[in-house]
Chain A
Amino acid sequence: MIKIATALSVMLIAATPFAAQATPDDDLKAFRSYFTKKFPEVPMNDFVNGVYSVDAASREQWEAFEEFPSYEIAIDNGESKFNKKFANGKSYASCFPNYKKGIKQNYPYFDTDSGKVVTLEGAINKCRTDNGEKALKWSKGEITEIGAYLASLSRGQKTNVKVPNDAKAVAAYNRGKQHFYAKRGQLNMSCADCHYYYSGSKIRADILSPALGHTTGFPVYRNKWAGMGTLHRRYGGCNKQVRAKPFKSQSDEYKALEYFHTYMSNGLKINGPSQRK
C-alpha cells in the first residue's frame, strides 16, 4: 500500500513542471520569488528569523528572550569541548582548520569521492571516529553544543551550499526536493504544505514559518524542548506531527532533505545558534 502511494506521489511530482528539468539555481530563484511576493514587507535577510519575520506579536516575545538567550550556555560548553584535545593529541581544530573564520555556511556539501552528502554533524562525528573517539549522539547533547559554537563563529556568513556537476549530487538534491514536496503521514501533509503554501497562516495556535531562511539558525534552542536540537531532530518532530514514521537523524533521507532545504537558503546569513519557541 505504502509503496503504491509513494510510487504514485513520485509519478505525480515528476509530472509537475518544476521537478524534472529545473536546475538548483532555477529552483532557488523561484523559491525566493515566491516568498518575497508572499511577504513583501519582509526584507530578504529577515527571513532567517523564521516566524518572527512574519508575525509582529511573536517577534516581540522573541526579542524579549533574545535579550539573554538560553543558547549561550551551549556556545560556552561547545567552545570548551571543541578546544579539549582528543586522547591521541589531536583536536577538532585539526579537522576544521578554518573554523575561526566560519565554516557552517558551507555545509552540507557533496563529497564526490564518497558519493555522499556531508553534514556538519556528520563531519564532527567523522573527526571524532577518525581520531579514535566515540561518535556523539546525533540530535541532542554535545553535538549540538559543538554545532552551536561553530555556528556562532559563522554568524553573518552567507549560506553557500553547492551542487556540483555530478550525477549523484544532483540525485541527492532532487531526492531532498522530492521529500520536501511529497505528502506523508496519516495527516497526508508535506513540508511544503505548511512551510511553502500555508506559510504565514495559522495551524492551531501556531503560525507557520516560511521555508526561506529555515536552516540558517540551527542548531536551535527550542523553548518547547527546553534544550538544543539539530535540524534533523526538528525534521523528526515535524514528521511525527503529521503522524508519519520519522527517519533517523543523519539518515540518507534527512541528509538529502537538508541538502535541498539549505540550498534554498543560499545567500542568507547564518544566524545560528538561535532560540525559537
Chain B
Amino acid sequence: MAKSSIKIRAKVKKGEAKVKCLISHPMETGLRKDKKSGKLIPAHFIQEVVCEHDGKTVINAQWSGTISKNPFLSFAFTGAKAGDMIKISWVDNTGKSDTTEAKMK
C-alpha cells in the first residue's frame, strides 16, 4: 500500500470531533530561486483541502503559497461520534492530489 502524504489524528469528545492532520508537501511559492542554477523553482502548493464526514463536507480550505512546507491543519466539528470515518483530500496547483481516510477515536 502506498504511503499517504496525510497523517491524521482525530478524537471525538461529547459529540465534538477534533481533527489534526500533518500533510507532507513542499508548498513551493514559486518565488524561490535554485541556489545553483539561479532559476526560479516553480510554484507547487496545495490549493484546496477538503474533509468529509458522513457524506458532508465539514471543512473546505483554500490555500496559497503562503502556507508553509509540510503544513499542519487542525479543526473541529460537531455531529460526530467515536468510530466514525472521515476522509481528508487535497489538490495542488499542478493537479496532483491525495486522499486518506481515518477512523475517529
Contacts and interface: CB of A to CB of B under 8 A. Distances in A.
B105 interface: no
A73 B24 contact: yes
A73 B72 contact: no
A227 interface: yes
B7 A72 contact: yes
Nearest to B18: A67
Nearest to B23: A73
Interface residues on A, range: 10 to 19
25 contacts: A65-B72, A67-B9, A67-B20, A68-B7, A68-B9, A68-B20, A68-B21, A68-B22, A68-B72, A68-B74, A70-B22, A70-B70, A70-B72, A72-B7, A72-B22, A73-B7, A73-B22, A73-B24, A73-B70, A76-B3, A80-B3, A226-B68, A226-B69, A226-B70, A227-B69
Question: From DSSP, what is the main secondary structure of chain B's interface residues?
Answer: strand
A65 B68 CA distance: 15
Interface in A202-240: 226-227
Nearest to B21: A68
Interface of B: 3, 7, 9, 20-22, 24, 68-70, 72, 74
Contacts of B68: 226
A68 B7 CA distance: 9
B100 to A, nearest CB: 14
Given A68-B74, A70-B72, A73-B7, 9 more contacts: A67-B9, A68-B72, A70-B70, A73-B24, A76-B3, A80-B3, A226-B69, A226-B70, A227-B69
A80 B3 CA distance: 10
Interface string A40-82: 0000000000000000000000000101101011001000100
Contacts of B72: 65, 68, 70
A227 B7 CA distance: 17
A80 B2 CA distance: 12
Which 5 pairs from chain A and chain B are nearest by CB? A68-B20, A73-B24, A226-B69, A226-B68, A68-B22
Contacts of B70: 70, 73, 226
B77 to A, nearest CB: 17
Nearest to A70: B70
Contacts of A226: 68-70
A67 B68 CA distance: 18
A67 B72 CA distance: 11
A48 B22 CA distance: 25
Nearest to B24: A73
